[in-house]
A and B are shown apart, each in its own frame.
Chain A
Amino acid sequence: MNVKKTGLIFFPAFDWAISPSHPEREERLLYTQDQVFEEGLLDLDNVFEFKPGLASTEDINRIHICVPGAESVITESHLISAGGAITAAEKVLTKEVDNAFALVRPPGHHAMRVVHGARGFCNINIEAIMVEYIRHRYGHKRIAIVDTDCHHGDGSQDIFWHDPDTLYISIHQDGRTLYPGSGFPNEFGGPNALGYTINIPLPPNTSDKGFLFALDNLILPILDEFKPDLVINSAGQDNHYSDPITNMNFSANGYAILNERLSPDIAVLEGGYSIESALPYINVGIIMAMAGLDYSFVKEPDYNPREIEQSSQISRYIEEEVSQIYELWKNRHSQKAEMVKNAKYARRSRSIYYDTDGINEEQEETIRICDDCGGMLTIDSKASTGNRIFAVIVPGQSCSTCREKGEKAFESVETGRYDYVYFQDRDRDLFIVK
């Protein structure tokens, strides 16, 4: 194994909880801290701990439309966990370290572009904020996000849906059996970014073998073809066989192998709620794998590979699914023509439920079909909080036509119909509310 310099941004937020008995509570990373400290990982010559920075409102407004504003949907702990992800990216991009792991909470991958409140324990999407921060500071990069959380990262999918320069791959427990109920292979990206969202739902009880099969035969080959500048792992840990809110059979060793093979530049913690039996071992395994150390002695006290082995039926199911998804990816270019035909705009309407805050949102999204950029986007959104908003988003690396159309759309919007109207322009780092 190759020893690497690994940065660790550890922020367990020991004084922050959604509510006292919520899975996202003070105790969540307590035993992980114990294990990391006891193993002495921070003393290793190639492991460096960094204090997280604080994300700013500008960092959030670069990616989200928070209603009515960023201050109203977040707490300080969100700024720290997003700040921790940004610090991880900084350390990697300035080459202070070879890779970095933001072991921070609260998580973010269920937070969508428009934020009326909290969903799936998430308020703001810390990886997405980090990605746009990277592009803002270090130029436009091709970025691949591999989301290994057990839940479909519907927030990240929504944010990168129209972005052909961000490949978002989510591998998760089948949405028919778990929150948020989405993430099927036919969710494949918007018309301008078809194929750059990849969903790999796995049946309940999938073990290391199934995850690693999908990694080796689907994720890694796609990454090879996409050729990203950066690979990010949304490192959720709730696929573990002992996780109380999911039904998978992944192990600490499996996570370590996955991280060794995927070799992410940046990993960011997402979910994972088996706080005592799994997280301490998974996190030690991930850190050691990223640092290129021998992790073969990291295992859960009750680890018994035979007990959690997946059935041959599951193996066959995954093999078939993997080859189908790979076909889909191969044919992504020809599918676009078929899907778009002569349309100038494409529209999708959705209902979004915010389970954590109990909010309903009705959203209509319109994207300009464009061959030159991700396409100008407008969003009309109405929430049960009473807020109705309109947003115009000019994507990064925008073509001049999309920018002009966006500016016009923002000028001509009938403000009377909306509580707030937003304009977001990534290239010019503009965020305007009226």
Chain B
Amino acid sequence: MILGIDVGGTHTDAVLLDHYEVRKKAKVLTNRENLLDSLLKVTEEILSDEGPEILDRVVLSTTMSTNAIVQDKISKVGMILASGPGLPPSMLTINDDTHFVSGYVNHRGVEVAGIDHDEISKIAEKLRGEGIEHVGIVGKFSSRDPHIETDIGDSIDGKFKHISLGHRMSGNLNFPRRIATTYLNAAVWDTYNSFIDNIKEFVGRFKTDFPIYILKADGGTFEISQSVKCPVQTILSGPAASIMGILSLTNCQEDAIALDIGGTTTDIAIFAGGIPLLEPLGVTIKGHKTLIRGLRTRSIGIGGDSRVTYENGELTVGPERVGPAAAFGGPSPTPTDAMIVLGLTDIGEKEKAEKAIAEIAESMNVPLHDAAETIFHSACETITSSVKDMIDEINNAPVYTVHEMLDGKKIEPNLLYVVGGPAKPMAPRLGDMLGCTTHIPENAEVANAIGASLARTTTELTVLADTEKGTLTIVEEGIQLTIPREFEREDALKICMDKLRERAIKMGAKEDDLEIEITEDQSFNMVRGYYTAGKNIRIKAQVKPGLISNFQKGETR
């Protein structure tokens, strides 16, 4: 059986899946001061009739790293940046302990300037003197050739508790994002590691062996002992859990829109051919743009409990929530109250809802029902216009080849999935407005935990070959190999696939779950003078976000 737990901001949900059927669900309030406590409670509840020996797999989605970052409960980090030419240091400084050092490689990964050991050891001494135990090292173009970062790391090895290297975070280009990602990884390293130690200790008491996975922002999982190396990957796993939940509760194989409508906000996600879309570069957290792979979501300030006001001839719905709906004793009219008045739902106390909406109707000088309809429509309109914007943005993303420019695929969803409190009353209208067939999955209240349970292990890998230099770089693994001049794109493809498999299995993937996709496949002739000097080959592949195998989508009941 599979145990899935989602430690959310408000609730901690758990499900026990028996052959993909929900055998038991549990929900407890999250203790924000002590997440482990919530975890223990919900596990006890779900295992009240069974022993831990029934578990084949446990998957955990936690807000541990997210909270640490959002609440600023992070460690002090010393940042060492080998920035080379480009943006000025003032635009790259991420904290008070950022230091710039010499040494860099260019866009082809060729070393232009070497590192200065004296300079680095002075910085290391200074950082130690300030009691800093965590260090992040990031070099310009380190995802082309990581040796500047590893050399700096080697030269201060043993002097700090932990060192995070930029190229290990992602194979993508973007120096400022690499800096932010490395910084956050180092900053949450302590908090995350002690949390994981506690979990291991707790699980150790079960005296039985089962793999534990942690959910990442990209809707994939990795094995717990792998997660401690790159804890920053676990941020924002909450929205990912909910999207994977929708995927597991439906049989989505096509372009679709997924909405999770809560009390305060609505999260939007898009599926392309049944695969949830990823952020092009990485997720953003607390103003930091990162290189962390994450599902593409957009959160808007509208939900069932959004405050409704009418002032100076203008009706406003959201973005604040001042309390629950009036029907539940809240202080202000809300879209939920409007839906009650319209008879779309029969929750709460109808009289209270009517009274609240009547205030708005009076100032609008329209009948009660019309006011309710206007509020309801406005809430739906806010959601659908954001959905349309998001699809436009995806379809208008710049492309760099004539082929893609003329024949590029477009996302055209005809299917709408809705989960969350107001899903039932809102879905039909939203579907009409978006021209989509609507679908409200069952068991949606624990979709997050189900999504976490069934998410497969994902990862990506970048392979760069430069036959003029005679080098092949496996970026995220920090490996460099020598290659012959006649090395071809096909050779690079094969190496990339093999190494991606290895990497995925190391991270906890099962052989059957390796649904691999090539995401970048480019080979350029490098011409110098009038002769071809070599090939510049760039391959990127990923294990797509999806559900573990032997599991047909839509089977969960």
CB distance from A340 to the nearest CB of B (A): 47
What's the tally of chain B residues with a CB closer than 8 Å to chain A? 42
Which residues on the B side are within 8 Å of A244 (C-beta)?
A: 529
A19-27, A167-175, A219-227, A308-316 - the one binding chain B: A19-27
Q: C-beta contact mask, A25-62 vs B, less than 8 Å → 1, else 0? A: 11100110111011110010000011110100000000
B398 touches A10 (CB 8 A): yes
Q: C-beta contact mask, A110-128 vs B, less than 8 Å → 1, else 0? A: 0000000000000000000
- Within 90-144 of A, Cβ neighbours of B (below 8 Å) are at none
B400 touches A33 (CB 8 A): yes
Centre residue among B144, B174, B281 by max chain A CB count within 10 A: B174
- A14-B400, A301-B112 as given contacts; A37 in contact with B173, CB under 8 Å: yes
B85 touches A299 (CB 8 A): yes
- A31-B108, A38-B141 as given contacts; A21 in contact with B532, CB under 8 Å: yes
- A21-B532, A27-B525, A76-B406 as given contacts; A15 in contact with B85, CB under 8 Å: no
- A34-B173, A297-B89, A298-B85 as given contacts; A15 in contact with B402, CB under 8 Å: yes
What's the tally of chain A residues with a CB closer than 8 Å to chain B? 45
- A120 to B125: give the CA distance in the assembly, Å: 58
CB distance from A292 to the nearest CB of B (A): 13
A12 CB-CB contact with B under 8 Å: yes
**One of A15, A21, A39 near B87 (C-beta < 8 A):** A39
Query: Can you offer 23 A-B residue contacts whose CB atoms are under 8 A?
Result: A10-B400, A11-B400, A14-B401, A20-B525, A21-B527, A21-B530, A26-B525, A27-B526, A34-B141, A35-B86, A38-B175, A40-B87, A40-B177, A76-B406, A276-B107, A276-B108, A293-B87, A293-B88, A294-B90, A297-B89, A298-B86, A299-B85, A301-B113
Which residues on the B side are within 8 Å of A296 (C-beta)?
A: 88
Which residues on the A side are within 8 Å of B173 (C-beta)?
A: 34, 37-38
Q: C-beta contact mask, B444-487 vs A, less than 8 Å → 1, else 0? A: 00000000000000000000000000000000000000000000
Which residues on the A side are within 8 Å of B289 (C-beta)?
A: 40, 43
- A297 to B406: give the CA distance in the assembly, Å: 38
A77 CB-CB contact with B under 8 Å: yes
B397 touches A13 (CB 8 A): no
A27 touches B536 (CB 8 A): yes
A16 CB-CB contact with B under 8 Å: yes
- A27-B536, A34-B173, A35-B107 as given contacts; A281 in contact with B85, CB under 8 Å: yes
Centre residue among B90, B106, B108, B524 by max chain A CB count within 10 A: B106
Which single residue of chain B is at the shortest CB-CB distance from A9? B398
**One of A13, A276, A299, A300 near B400 (C-beta < 8 A):** A13
A293 touches B91 (CB 8 A): yes
B402 touches A39 (CB 8 A): no
Which residues on the B side are within 8 Å of A14 (C-beta)?
A: 400-401, 522, 524
CB distance from B537 to the nearest CB of A (A): 12
B176 CB-CB contact with A under 8 Å: yes
- Within 76-112 of B, Cβ neighbours of A (below 8 Å) are at 85-91, 106-108, 112
A49 touches B525 (CB 8 A): no
A284 CB-CB contact with B under 8 Å: yes
- A195 to B529: give the CA distance in the assembly, Å: 39
CB distance from A368 to the nearest CB of B (A): 41
A80 touches B402 (CB 8 A): yes
Which residues on the A side are within 8 Å of B405 (C-beta)?
A: 11, 52, 54, 76, 80
A280 CB-CB contact with B under 8 Å: yes
Which residues on the A side are within 8 Å of B398 (C-beta)?
A: 10-11, 49-52
A40 touches B174 (CB 8 A): yes
Which single residue of chain A is at the shortest CB-CB distance from B110? A301
- A288 to B174: give the CA distance in the assembly, Å: 16
- Within 314-358 of A, Cβ neighbours of B (below 8 Å) are at none
- A240 to B201: give the CA distance in the assembly, Å: 63
- Within 112-155 of B, Cβ neighbours of A (below 8 Å) are at 112-113, 140-141, 144
- A27 to B533: give the CA distance in the assembly, Å: 12
- Within 256-290 of A, Cβ neighbours of B (below 8 Å) are at 276, 280-281, 284, 288
Which single residue of chain B is at the shortest CB-CB distance from A277? B106
CB distance from A51 to the nearest CB of B (A): 5
